Amino acid sequence: MLTDLVSVVVNTIILGSIYGLVAIGMTLIYGTLRILDMSQGSMVMVGSFIGWGVLVVAGWNPILAILAAFIATFGLGALTQLVSVQPLMKRRNAIDFEMVTFITTFAVAMVLTNLALELLGPFQRNVTPVIAGGLSIHTVDLPYQSVAMAVVSIALMIGLGLFLARSRWGMAIRAVAQDLDAARLMGVPVGKLYPLTMGLASALAGVAGVFLGGLYFASPTAGDLPLLEALIVVIFGGLGSLPGTVYAAYAIGLIQAVAEAIVSVTWSLPILYGVILLVLIFRPYGLLGKPSEARL
């Protein structure tokens, strides 16, 4: 019983932190650009391959791997915005913008995943953990990798919160999220802000990828499950609400940890989907989501 309790608490914190890192990027993008960015899963995948390249192929320092993943996925995310979203910005009021960008970012994800498949093959590659070893609490194994990941995730989430609250660019992002036209009239450079936002969110996913690669594998489909989980978190929390996303990440981590402890690992995802169905039926905009009011 104590073992179950310990494993539930530990898994909740770790799973929640992982989900939070990817999901918070999606929330940031949705809050600012009204885009559900389906390419975030591919950013996790790219991050895990960069982790593999730097740590295993080149044999360099883990910190370098995290930095490299951050920079590369930042660039890739900004590029994704320029290619798949920017051309549609002028027509944003004439089209179903949310749906069309959902499809274009999905197309980017398709291209990235399958380029990786074509270039690197369908193999699963082991990535050296950023930190080896682990400890054991009441017979529950806890790799340092997971601890490091939770710590880095929480640090990045706090860092993002401070960035949005205090820095000039962060305030600009929030201003655009609240009222695009007003922000533009106040001289916010919207054209630069959008790639920055998507780059930032993608970089978070890329860093998550380095850790997830160490926990599981680097493979072309490594981003699919994180994407699905992040989608669940984002809907559960309410699209566009940052606090909602953080609560939802840990709530979902808790549901999944309990489901794994009580039922079995194979049923944890269907149980999650069942919970989501119920939440959406009774709260169509998620826990803290608002139909179209100020977000972030």
Partner 1 sequence: MTDSAVTERPGDPPTLERAAFGSMTTGRWALAAAAVLVAALIPLVLSSQYYLSVMVTTLILLVLNISWNFVLGVAGVWNFGQLAIYALGGYGAGIIMLHSSVSPWLALLAGGVVGTIAAVLLAFPTLRLYGIYTSLLTFAFAEVIQYVILNDGSGLTGGSFGLPAVSGLFGSLSPGAQNKAYYWTALAIVVAATLALAAVGQSGLGIALRGIRDAPGYAAARGVNPLRYRVIAFAISGFLAGIAGGLYVSAEGSIAPTVMGLTPMSVYVTMLVIGGLGTSTGPILGTILVQIVATVLITHPGAEFTILGLFLLVVVIFVPDGLTGLISRYARRLGAWVAEDEDDDADESTDDRAQDQPEGSPDPHVA
Q: Using CB under 8 A as the criterion, which residues of the chain lie in contact with partner 1 when the complex forms?
A: 36, 83-84, 87-88, 95-96, 98-100, 102-104, 106-111, 113-119, 220, 224, 228, 231-232, 235, 239, 266-267, 269-270, 273-274, 276-277, 280-281, 284-285
Q: Which is nearer to partner 1, 100 or 148 (CB)?
A: 100
Instruction: Give the count of beta carbons closer than 10 Å to the beta carbon of residue 106.
Output: 17
Q: Which is nearer to partner 1, 9 or 269 (CB)?
A: 269
22 CB-near residues (< 8 Å, 6+ apart):
40, 41, 44, 204, 205, 208, 226, 227, 229, 230, 233
| Tokens matching residue 19 | 């989900």
Q: How far is the CB of 217 from partner 1 (least distance, A)?
A: 17
Q: Which is nearer to partner 1, 88 or 140 (CB)?
A: 88
Rounded Cα gap, residues 238 and 289, in angstroms: 4
Q: How far is the CB of 24 from partner 1 (least distance, A)?
A: 17
Q: Which is nearer to partner 1, 63 or 99 (CB)?
A: 99
Q: Which is nearer to partner 1, 136 or 266 (CB)?
A: 266
* Structure-derived torsion over alpha carbons of residues 34, 228, 66, 103, reported in degrees to the nearest 10: -40
Rounded Cα gap, residues 124 and 126, in angstroms: 7
| Tokens matching residue 83 | 């290619």
User: DSSP label at 134?
Assistant: E
Q: How far is the CB of 214 from partner 1 (least distance, A)?
A: 25
Q: How far is the CB of 223 from partner 1 (least distance, A)?
A: 11
| Tokens matching residue 160 | 């993002």
C-alpha atoms less than 13 angstroms from C-alpha of 263 in its C-beta half-sphere: 13
Q: How far is the CB of 257 from partner 1 (least distance, A)?
A: 18
Q: Which is nearer to partner 1, 86 or 178 (CB)?
A: 86
Q: How far is the CB of 284 from partner 1 (least distance, A)?
A: 5
* Contact (Cβ atoms closer than 8 angstroms) between residue 56 and residue 127: yes
Radius of gyration of the CA atoms of the chain, in A = 19
